Amino acid sequence: MALKKKRKVKKAAKKPAIKKKVSKNKPALKKQSTIKKPAIKKAAKVEGKLIGVITHYFPHVQAAVIKLKGPLAKGDTVKIKGHTTDITQIVTSIQIDRVDIQTAKKGDEIGLQVSSRVRQQDKVYKI
């Protein structure tokens, strides 16, 4: 058998890598135009002093349970304001444990006769 002669294959010469210039300074950022955000409606300020929050409503007797943060008496004018509620009325009936009372103090949880439906978390203001 004849010996085959190996051919020498020429390898392509490697080209030297080209280094790119990297600037050390950061490019200046483009100034973005200021976009105005839509105005958020703030809750209208209710006249009077906040005296309580509705904690429950009994629809069959139209009575609300109020946790008082201030004093309240029969004859006072109150405003009940909430997401869908806006009632102004004179206090005609106040009860604690189903007993009629004339005045209630801060911290009491009272039952109050209301003229229309109210909801939990509605605010009660004394006008």
pLDDT, tens digit (0-9, with 9 covering 90-100), for 73-86: 999 999 999 999 99
Q: Structure tokens of 44?
A: 């209208």
Chain CA centroid to CA 61, Å = 32
Angle at 92 between CA 104 and CA 116, to 5 degrees: 110
- Return the pLDDT at 38: 72
pLDDT in tens, 81-118: 999 999 999 999 999 999 999 999 999 999 999 999 99
Check if the beta carbon of residue 119 is closer than 8 Å to that of residue 54: yes
Beta strands 86-90 and 123-126 are unpaired
As a whole number of angstroms, the distance between CA 123 and CA 127 comes to 13
As a whole number of angstroms, the distance between CA 90 and CA 6 comes to 114
- Return the pLDDT at 2: 62
Amino acid residing at 102: Q
What's this model's pTM, rounded to 2 decimal places? 0.63
- Return the pLDDT at 70: 96
Q: What length is written for the chain?
A: 127
Domains and CATH numbers, the chain: 49-126 (2.40.30.10)
Is residue 1 pLDDT above 60, yes or no? Answer: no
- Return the pLDDT at 29: 62
- Return the pLDDT at 43: 58
As a whole number of angstroms, the distance between CA 110 and CA 21 comes to 79
Longest dimension (CA), the chain: 128
Check if the beta carbon of residue 91 is closer than 8 Å to that of residue 112: yes
pLDDT in tens, 5-55: 666 666 666 666 676 666 666 666 666 666 676 766 665 676 799 999 999
